[in-house]
Amino acid sequence: MDFNCITPSVVFQEVPDEISLCFSITGCKLGCKGCHSTELWHSKNGMALTNQAFILWLKKYKGLISCVVFFGGEWQANALIEKLQIAKSFGLKTCLYSGEEAEEKYIDLRITQHLNFLKTGAWRDELGGLESTHTNQVFRDLTTGEKLNHLFVKNSDNNSYNNPQKNNSLLGVGNVAA
């Protein structure tokens, strides 16, 4: 089975306080209802992510990124572990976004030992993603064990759209016809 990915991109919100190069690995077998990345379901989609190709991507963004994120890939543990080890050798932090329901005890320990961060939990529309206080998903710093979901939730007290006291247009102030 090929270890393929969609063209990588630099992302800013998947790992708090990190600028990450994101590799979306194809061949996901979970098929979550409401998945926004169905192109990842088919293992033949994308391009081969060989170790040599991965190194070229890391060299291209050297000095610009602090972390590498994999959306999936845990179904090919050996290939993923190789990439995680390479990323670490470049001095980068590593993260895996997995749709597996339970926390890291269900992710191969051979993988988690090479991760700084791990997001687990399938997408469930009725529960929302990491920005929801009701989500089934968990984002954890594996170096400290700390659950970091709170970093993804917008603070409604400081968000003027959700707080009419801070958004005069919702109160009608300033909407007076002359």
Contact 62, 21 (CB under 8 A): no
Task: Report CA-CA distances (Å) from 100 to 111, 118, 139, 147, 154.
Answer: 14, 11, 12, 16, 24
177: in domain: no
14: in domain: yes
Q: What is the pLDDT of residues 82-92, one digit of tens each?
A: 999 999 999 99
Ramachandran bin of 34, using left for φ above 0, alpha for ψ from -120 to 50, beta for the remaining angles: left
Q: What is the mean pLDDT of residues 144-171?
A: 63
Show the domain range for 164: 4-171
178: in domain: no
Is the pLDDT at 156 greater than 60? The verdict is no
- End-to-end CA distance of the chain: give it in Å, rounded: 69
74: in domain: yes
176: in domain: no
Q: Give the up-direction half-sphere exposure of residue 110: CA atoms within 13 A in the CB hemisphere.
A: 10
49: in domain: yes
pLDDT attached to residue 61: 97
Instruction: Measure the CA–CA gap between 68 and 63, rounded to whole angstroms.
Output: 13
Output the pTM of the full model. Answer: 0.81
Structurally, the chain folds into a number of domains equal to: 1
**Angle value at C-alpha 20, between 59 and 137, nearest 5 degrees:** 145
